Amino acid sequence: MATTSYRVERWTRQSRLFAVIIALVLMVLAIGPFIFSADITDRLTTLFVYVILAAMWNAMAGYAGLVSIGNQVFIGLGGYFLIRLSDAGVSLYPAVVLAALIVGLIALPVGELMLRLRGGEFAIGMWVLAELSHFLVNLDPVIQGETGTSLTALNAYPPVAARNDTYWVGFVLMVVLLAVVFALLRGRVGAGVQAIRDDEVAAASVGVKVHAGKRIMFVLAAIGCAAAGGVWLATTISFQPGTFFGIQWTAYMLFMALVGGLGTFEGPIIGAILFFIMESWFGATGVAYLIGLGVTALAFSLFLPRGIWGSVETRLGIRLLPVGFSLRLVNPDGGRDRD
């Protein structure tokens, strides 16, 4: 019997094939407005927003162990700064990005404070932050309290152009943010934050910079959620603080990330698509639909905490977009894989 050697690989044949498929899907989506109807274009923009939100929530909860029930603070502030920037004369789509960056800047000192909280305390602490921001935004006379205001800059665009441009901005932001998450997870930061999620004390003891890792994920999520809030505002036009700072966003984000698969790259995307489909089928049933979301989220957290994709990954060993490494045992005689 020959000695067994091993090979460490990141890209498998499977994941290379999948990367090609992804590239094709992205190419089709990139020219979406030319081939889809107006209705589909609108709905896909909504889906992009959901994918961004799910991926950002997962970046915090799934990778850095930061479960927040107040990420709507970033969505709301993203919308608010977009209103203020576009009122100040910044053209609409650059303002979406700029607003997101401003929220990221605010998240830096805020994160210093919130990241001292642990577990459930961090979760509610974030909600307090969302409520506080909600009331402070209400104090701004431009917003007119709960009545809200409209993104008047959109009136300058013909409806078709506004729909298509919002679609493209949403699409580009989604791709860029997912690419950033992907790149982060494959690098030193990714290994670090995944270690934090698994065991914070142990991670710190082997030299992982726990605080720095959490801070990166926190600020990234702030920027991403704010960008999603901006795109959302560009699709709905009216900014009502109660809706933008509402706790229902957390229910959606938690559902998407948890059902799709916390701590996997692909999971939240699958979760967002599932949520999108469920919303179009059952959204009209209102309260019953929300109860259904709650029951599903509870069931997954109790019985399938790894979510759909997490379970598929562990059972079948599939890695579509590899953020980790896999180890293959190789028999040097036959050169065949023995796994």
Partner 1 sequence: MNFLNQIIQGVLLGGFYALLACGLSFMFGVMRIINLAHGSLAILAAFLLMGFCNYTNLSPFIGLLLVLPVMALLGWALQFTVLDRSLRAGPLIPVLSTFGVAVILDNSMFEVYGANSQSLGPNIGNLAYNSWNLTNTISIAQLDALVFVTAVVVLGGLQIILRYTALGRTIRATASDPAVVDLIGVNARMVYAAAAAMAMVMIGLAGAFLAMRNSFDPYAGGPQLIFAFETIVIGGLGSLWGTLVGGIVLGVAQNIGATISPHGFLIAGHLTFLVVLVARTFGGRIAWRALLPKRAAS
The one among 5, 35, 121, 238 contacting partner 1 by CB under 8 A: 121
* Rounded CA separation 218/253 (Å): 15
Smaller CB distance to partner 1: residue 296 or 326?
296
Q: Where are the alpha helices (DSSP H) in the chain?
A: 13-30, 32-35, 38-58, 64, 72-87, 92-114, 119-139, 159-186, 188-198, 200-205, 210-236, 241-244, 248-260, 267-282, 287-303, 307-316
The one among 119, 141, 207, 334 contacting partner 1 by CB under 8 A: 119
The one among 30, 38, 108, 120 contacting partner 1 by CB under 8 A: 120
Paired strand residues for 303: none
Interacting residues of 206 by C-beta distance below 8 A, sequence separation 6+: 195
Smaller CB distance to partner 1: residue 32 or 246?
246
- C-beta of residue 232 within 8 angstroms of C-beta of residue 99: no
Quick one: CA torsion of 152, 157, 161, 167, rounded to 10 degrees? Answer: -20
124 binds partner 1 (CB under 8 A): yes
Residue type, 50: Y
Sign, CA dihedral 238-242-245-251, equals negative
Number of residues that bind partner 1 (CB under 8 A): 42
CB of 252 to partner 1, least distance (A): 10
CB of 304 to partner 1, least distance (A): 11
User: Within 10 A of 222 (CB to CB), how many other CB atoms are there?
Assistant: 28
CB of 153 to partner 1, least distance (A): 28
* Site for partner 1, residues 38 to 77, rule: CB under 8 A: 61, 65, 67, 69
* Site for partner 1, residues 245 to 304, rule: CB under 8 A: 247, 250-251, 254, 258, 262, 287-288, 290-291, 293-295, 297-298, 301-302
Paired strand residues for 330: 5, 337
* Site for partner 1, residues 130 to 159, rule: CB under 8 A: 131-132, 135-136, 138-139
Q: Could you give the C-alpha distances from 285 to 39, 288, 295, 305, in angstroms and in order? A: 21, 6, 15, 27
The one among 24, 26, 113, 202 contacting partner 1 by CB under 8 A: 113
CB of 317 to partner 1, least distance (A): 23
Place of tokens 């909504």: 46
CB of 118 to partner 1, least distance (A): 8
Smaller CB distance to partner 1: residue 305 or 332?
305
Site of interaction with partner 1 (CB under 8 A): 61, 65, 67, 69, 112-113, 116-121, 123-125, 127-129, 131-132, 135-136, 138-139, 247, 250-251, 254, 258, 262, 287-288, 290-291, 293-295, 297-298, 301-302, 305
